[in-house]
Structure 1
């Protein structure tokens, strides 16, 4: 009789997925689950992408202009308390993922893998802690290097292509801050945000040359906006002696100063690095070739009527 009762109890315990041994009880592991989101211009969701993607650059601007660019984020939960986050930025050409070294020249490897612990908040949100380990690969190709320079890709200031690991650079864990993910029952990441946004507000609004340059241009009133000959870029002159070069495809802004000689109708441009560019007369027009201060691959050829330029700058 005792054996029969013991057998029934054992069968019941095993059926419930629990094995009891002494005072220790082990529950069956919860199922592993992955939540994902892919941002791409063709999907119409790039404007919804947060301004950080756990990568070596903020790719929000570029993915909003170039449909070949994708950012895919996968958050895998092990069902206990461990997570694995993979954020991958890549280019697609002719329906295939472009690889570094292939004949497209636009292949880019920009991938972060992070592992740490998480908390399921029970309300369709998941909070991930600062990771215990981070690895990042950053490789560019013949043409994608232009994207690297335009977006300012770097790992803790390191701009060289290569593989970076937090075992060697512990500060890399800052690439994946404590973040709250909102998910749904379709295993999709709806959105994600910093857990402590106040820690990043100053950094995002004040840090970097772009912010300072933008402030400089904003201090003046627009006098004339000159579209490039291919209409891909714009060169705007302000009444405080500053200019802004804007390359829409890469969401790049470049600022500096200019001077105009009314007698010779010559425009002299000085960029942030002190490089000087002078316009040339071409009949009734003024022409100049401008190169982005951080990359001679991002350029624009501009033509403006001499009379219109003189009138704007009088």
Structure 2
């Protein structure tokens, strides 16, 4: 009988705490992971916020490149600790393209962060600035071209490698205080800055660019219609590469006698057009990467009329 009692008591103690003959069960906590994967084929790429806790804003590329994915996982321990993982990768033929494989498009762009969170009690949680962040930024033969186009850098450093807040405390700024909206399906519905006033939005930036550029005179599509070259009335231009969501600004000068358009980019590089019959033609390269280019053809009369 003593043996049976001992077994029963051990079983009860495994379940809770015995106090004065009353069993008090320890509070159960459940770890849960919430996820979202952004990709143009998922139909949610345009809804992805402008920041993804990565070393570059991948929204433009994810919205235009079906092989590129951004996957964000937020694990909550049920108490007050979180782990955030943001992973940007390329799928080629159903498999992740790896660094060094024969595709040349392999990409490792991953952030992991750990800190504390607050459950707001309304399907949202707020994560604090993390206590620890690790970031890997590795590119290959072709994926390296993404660096300039999406502003990929770690606190201004464009070198491939692994970065850790133990050595670089400022790295925690990659994961700002953020409010996540979650659902009971284990999905991240959306997320936003806790203090949006501290960050310039894309719309605000575009409005500022438009105000600075002046009034549009003529928008010239590239021959393949992938890019646009716009001239403004204050002598500035904007080159826009839609697939990468990249804009480039500089100045231009037009000589009516020779029908020549001279373009000077942000780095001082000059591009001069040529006349081909009734057309004016020029080849433009993005000031930060010669991989992003456009060939443009515009009627000479239309150009002259626009900038007169």
- Measure how far apart 1:13 and its partner are: 4.6
The C-alpha deviation readout for 1:247-274, integer Å capped at 9, x for no partner, is 0110001111111001000000011111
Asked whether 1:106 is paired with 2:120, we answer no
Q: Is the 8 A contact 1:245 1:253 kept in 2?
A: yes
Match of 2:295 in 1: 301
Q: Is the 8 A contact 2:89 2:97 kept in 1?
A: yes
Asked whether 1:223 is paired with 2:217, we answer yes
Match of 2:231 in 1: 237
Match of 1:261 in 2: 255
- Measure how far apart 1:79 and its partner are: 2.8
The C-alpha deviation readout for 1:226-255, integer Å capped at 9, x for no partner, is 111111111111111111101011000111
The C-alpha deviation readout for 1:162-201, integer Å capped at 9, x for no partner, is 1100011001111111111111111001111122222324
Match of 1:199 in 2: 198
Q: Is the 8 A contact 1:114 1:131 kept in 2?
A: yes
Asked whether 1:273 is paired with 2:272, we answer no
Match of 1:63 in 2: 62
Match of 1:18 in 2: 16
What are the equivalent positions in structure 2 for 1:139-154 lying under 5 Å apart?
Answer: 139-154=138-153
Distance 1:120 1:268, change over 3 A: same
Asked whether 1:251 is paired with 2:259, we answer no
Q: Tell me the distance in 2 between the aligned counterparts of 1:296 and 1:10.
A: 72
Q: Secondary structure at the match of 1:53?
A: coil
Match of 2:120 in 1: 121
Q: Is the 8 A contact 1:214 1:255 kept in 2?
A: no
The count of residues paired between Structure 1 and Structure 2 equals 305
Q: Secondary structure at the match of 1:64?
A: helix
- Measure how far apart 1:20 and its partner are: 5.5
Taking only aligned residues, the RMSD between alpha carbons, in angstroms, comes to 2.7
Q: Secondary structure at the match of 2:239?
A: strand
Q: Tell me the distance in 1 between the aligned counterparts of 2:300 and 2:68.
A: 39
What are the equivalent positions in structure 2 for 1:161-180 lying under 5 Å apart?
Answer: 161-180=160-179
Match of 2:281 in 1: 287
Q: Tell me the distance in 2 between the aligned counterparts of 1:225 and 1:281.
A: 18
Distance 1:96 1:4, change over 3 A: closer
The C-alpha deviation readout for 1:85-143, integer Å capped at 9, x for no partner, is 10011112222211122122222111000011222233221221111110000111222
Distance 1:201 1:225, change over 3 A: closer
Q: Tell me the distance in 2 between the aligned counterparts of 1:107 and 1:21.
A: 59
Q: Give the alignment's TM-score, normalised by structure 1.
A: 0.89
Distance 1:132 1:59, change over 3 A: same
Q: Tell me the distance in 1 between the aligned counterparts of 2:102 and 2:301.
A: 46
